[in-house]
Each structure stands twice: as structure tokens, then as C-alpha cells.
Structure 1
Amino acid sequence: MTTTHKGTCFCGSVEIEVSGTPEGMGYCHCASCRAWSAGPVNAFSLWKPGSVRITNGQDLLGEFSGVPNSVRQFCKKCGGHIMTDHPEWGVTDVFAAVLPSLAFVPGVHVNYAEAVLPMRDGLPKFKDFPAEIGGSGEQVTE
């Protein structure tokens, strides 16, 4: 049986559904994610693109690409952030807060060298990204 999680933008006009298991979950501390989320850190859940589906409000989905490899998507009606496609890595980040039924179990911190909110949780903290996706693979201490 496949697990399905449903969520919406802030006003509920754009509805999203993910199925299966995320490829990974964690926190991003980069300046781009902080600015986009208007917070000190962004909680992500990564999914294969085929596992992510807009079920209502496709016509209200806007896009913005402020940095390479990130196509951020939002509701044009309320501005609510929904997800970010990362085509170079073959994953879509559906913001963890958009999926209320998803048990968020973070496994990693990325771009921790840019952190403005130290988080001492024992998880691996990468200076940038793991080497498998083009980062240095260098970890930093809490």
C-alpha cells in the first residue's frame, strides 16, 4: 500500500499530493532558502518528481528561479510557497510544512556554513552539500 500525503498552499487554492516515501528530509541553511522561506532555516522533504502531483489549482501555480537548479513554485493567489524543483538532482522539495500528515524525520543539514540559527541535534551538518550531489562533502561540527 502506497502512502499518500496531501497539502495546500496558504489559501488552499493549490492542492498537492505526494505518494510513497521521500528520498530524504532535512534542513537547508543557505541564504536563498532563508530568504524564500522568510525564516532562519528551511525544512525540506525530497521526492522523485513522479511522486509529486498538483491535484487542483495548476493554473494558479507560479514559478521563480533566483538561483541555478532551483525552480521555486508558489500560489499566485496567496503567495504561499509549495515546492522547489531541483532538475539537476532529479528531486522536488515539497516544503515539509505543506504536508501536515508527513512525519518529518530530518536526516541532515545542508549549507550549514551559512547557518544563522545553530541547531545542536546530532545530525550530520554539511558545509555545503554531500559529494554525491556535487558538494564538497565536507562536514562541520555543531
Structure 2
Amino acid sequence: MSDAKTYHGACFCGAVQLRVTGEPEAMGYCHCEDCRHWSAGPVNAFTLWKPEAVEVVQGADMLASYHRTPASLRKWCRSCGGHVLTEHPELGLIDVYAAVIPDFPFTPGIHVHYQESVLRIPDGLPKMRDVPAEMGGTGETLDE
């Protein structure tokens, strides 16, 4: 039996329930225009998990998806419209939005796509122009 911590989350109405297990690969804030428009906010808090750490335990048939680019397959609840997660097939990771897993101890470590920021956050965390080089970006950091 695993000692990995498990956290539960749900869409806005609770029709879609999910479970994440263990620790995410990364946590932070995305400032890209796509995430801002999708979340209807000035910034999106993300948690990136390996696919085997994420399980939809209820309501998988209630998930709808939108595939704007090959880099992301965004999923939401057909009943309430609540956003649940984004699959990133090119990275082999799934972004479960931090707000969807309220008991998870979200500890951001980075800001990505900070050049597109509309809300500056002077928190001392690294500010990436796009994404880290190991994820296919330039790895270039920006000033706060």
C-alpha cells in the first residue's frame, strides 16, 4: 500500500469528481492569454501531474473538451461549465487547476508566460518569459 497523499476535487456543481495522488511535477501561475481567457481571470494557478496520478472517479461522461492547440486539451463539466483540468499531451502532464483541489497545499514555485502578464505579482518567485527550457521554452527569466 502506498503512503502517497491523496487529494479530492470536483467541478463547480460536483458532478465531476477527481482524485490526485502524490506530488505534482510543478506548481505555479500561468499568465498566458489562453489561460487568462479560459479562466476568466488575470492569472491561472496550475498544478501539473503525471497522468497516472490523476483519476476522474465520478462523472467522466460529464466532461466536455476543447482542443484549441495540440499543446492543450481543456476539459470542463457539461452540467455546470466548471473547468476541471487541461491535458498537455506534448509534455505528458495534466494540469489540475489549483482551485479544483481545495485541500491540496498549493505552493507555487514559478510564473510562466510572464511577458503576457496583465497582473504583476512581486512575490520573489522566478518569472519566466515563456516556460523552462526543459519544457521546450527559452528558459529566459524576466524581472518582477
TM-score bracket for this pair, using the shorter chain length: over 0.9
Alignment of 1:60-75 (within 5 A): 60-75=62-77
TM-score (norm 2): 0.97
Equivalent residue runs for 1:1-142 within 5 Å: 1-142=3-144
2:27 partner SS: strand
- CA shift at 1:68, angstroms? 2.8
Aligned partner of residue 27 in structure 1, secondary structure: strand
Ranges in structure 1 where 5+ consecutive residues have no aligned partner: none
Q: Which runs of 4+ in 1 moved over 3 A?
A: none
| TM-score normalised by the chain length of structure 1 | 0.99
Identity of aligned residues (%): 55
Residue-pair matches, total: 142
What's the secondary structure of 1:109's corresponding residue?
strand
State the secondary structure of the residue aligned to 1:50: helix
Cα deviation for residue 11 of structure 1 reads 0.4
Aligned-residue CA RMSD in angstroms?
A: 0.6
What are the superposed Cα offsets for residues 68-91 of structure 1, whole Å, 9 maximum, x if unpaired?
310001001110000000010111
Distance in structure 1 (CA, Å) of the matches to 2:133 and 2:9: 32
Gaps of 5+ in 2: none
